[in-house]
Amino acid sequence: MTARESPFKGATGLRRMISATRNSWAGLREAVACEDAFRQELILAAVMIPLAFVIGRTGIERALLAGSVLLVLIVELLNSAVEATVDRISFENHRLAKRAKDIGSAAVLLALGTAALVWALVIIR
């Protein structure tokens, strides 16, 4: 038995790239509009990423500082996608739904901890 492809996949080449870019921007707009945690982290990133270029003395330090903040945003987007998918399937309390949401939340917590550690190590020198 072979896996079926999504009926929404069909564009190739430049059309696929344009469509993927449009969908990515739509995803970012949805995250800003619907996800409180993402908005909070985005505001924090708007402050911290420019600050990373002030605090960091080398390109590597700047990349680590800014990258750790971007990592938090990326993980939050993935967590929000998991939560939306679980909610789409059912609002019923189920141990697997809870596990999926808790694991996504744990990933965000680890990303935040990583960012805090990177910032502390760079600032303390």
First-to-last C-alpha distance (Å) of the chain = 57
pLDDT digits (tens, 9 = 90+) for 25-46: 999 999 999 999 999 999 999 9
Residue 29 lies inside a defined structural domain of this protein = no
CATH of residue 83: 1.10.287.3610
**Active-site entry in 5, 30, 76, 92:** 76
pTM of the entire structure?
Answer: 0.88
18 within a domain of the structure (yes/no): no
CA–CA separation, 69 vs 62, rounded Å? 11
Q: Which domain holds residue 105?
A: 35-124
Give just the sign of the alpha carbon dihedral 8, 9, 12, 17. positive
Look up 76 and say whether it is catalytic.
Answer: yes
What was the pLDDT predicted at 1?
56
- Evaluate if residue 4 carries a pLDDT over 80: no
Tell me whether residue 12 is in a domain: no
CB count within 10 Å of CB 87 equals: 11
When divided into structural domains, the chain yields a total of 1
Each residue of 42-93: pLDDT tens digit? 999 999 999 999 999 999 999 999 999 999 999 999 999 999 999 999 988 9
Q: Specify burial of residue 28 (Cβ count, 10 A radius: 0-12, 13-18, 19+).
A: middle
Residue 7 counted as domain residue: no
Domain assignment of residue 20, yes or no: no
Q: Is residue 92 part of a domain?
A: yes
